[in-house]
């Protein structure tokens, strides 16, 4: 009883308060990003361990607003429909407009060149994140541009969209993108 007990009580309270302050200063300053940073670090180690390429860093703000599980749905479903369409028709070929295509010249389309039988069709899928066109011809100044096929400047081939064309005559048909004319490809019909 008396001052001794009160003294001890104050001491215990003081130590508790000090502990709380120390813990707050020690852990509190790490902040809310601590757990997500740990997660990223763990993923990096795991990817290295299993020989996977490092996680791509996403900076596109539109993509960051989309949950990861929904990010590739458009492209994936486009692949599914073109894959089944290709399987059902004789000589159906698929060409991708690859990510970053606008600076890739003749690597913008894959595979390039593409071989197709007479009567066969080619389906282009835009796997890039900007719109393109697939337009027959050697470039914007070709007087015959778009004669054989053209996905169109008014109906741009948006990301995830597809465009198909059936080839009826043999020959080598160059094509390009009207928005980025350095993107070039070739269809060989035989």
- Could you tell me where the beta strands, DSSP code E, fall in 52-159? 93-97, 109-110, 114-116, 121-126, 135-136
**Gap between the Cα atoms of 190 and 171, Å rounded:** 7
**Binding span for Cu ion by CB under 5 A among 4-12, 32-40, 140-148, 171-179:** 171-179
Nearer to Cu ion by C-beta: 92 or 165?
165
Binds Cu ion (CB under 5 A): choice among 179, 181, 182, 186? 179
Binds Cu ion (CB under 5 A): choice among 127, 145, 165, 180? 180
Name residues contacting Cu ion, limited to 92-151 (CB under 5 A). Answer: 132
CB count in 10 Å sphere of residue 163? 20
Nearer to Cu ion by C-beta: 92 or 185?
185
**Gap between the Cα atoms of 165 and 176, Å rounded:** 14
- Residues forming contacts to Cu ion in the complex (CB under 5 A) are 132, 177, 179-180, 183
């Amino acid at each position: 009883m008396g001052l001794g007990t009160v003294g001890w009580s104050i001491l215990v309270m003081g130590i508790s308060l000090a502990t709380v302050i120390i813990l707050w200063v020690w852990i509190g300053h790490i902040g809310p990003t601590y757990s997500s940073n740990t997660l990223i670090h763990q993923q990096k180690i795991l990817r290295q361990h299993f020989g996977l390429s490092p996680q791509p860093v996403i900076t596109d703000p539109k993509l960051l607003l989309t949950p990861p599980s929904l990010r590739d749905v458009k492209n994936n479903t486009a692949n599914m429909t073109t894959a089944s369409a290709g399987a059902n028709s004789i000589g159906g070929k698929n060409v991708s407009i690859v990510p970053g295509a606008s600076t890739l010249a003749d690597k913008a389309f894959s595979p390039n060149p593409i071989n197709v039988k007479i009567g066969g069709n080619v389906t282009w899928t835009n796997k890039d994140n900007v719109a393109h066109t697939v337009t027959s011809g050697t470039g914007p100044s070709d007087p015959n541009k778009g004669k054989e096929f053209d996905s169109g400047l008014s109906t741009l081939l948006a990301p995830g969209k597809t465009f198909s064309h059936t080839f009826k005559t043999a020959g080598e048909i160059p094509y390009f993108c009207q928005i980025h004319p350095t993107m070039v490809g070739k269809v060989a019909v035989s």
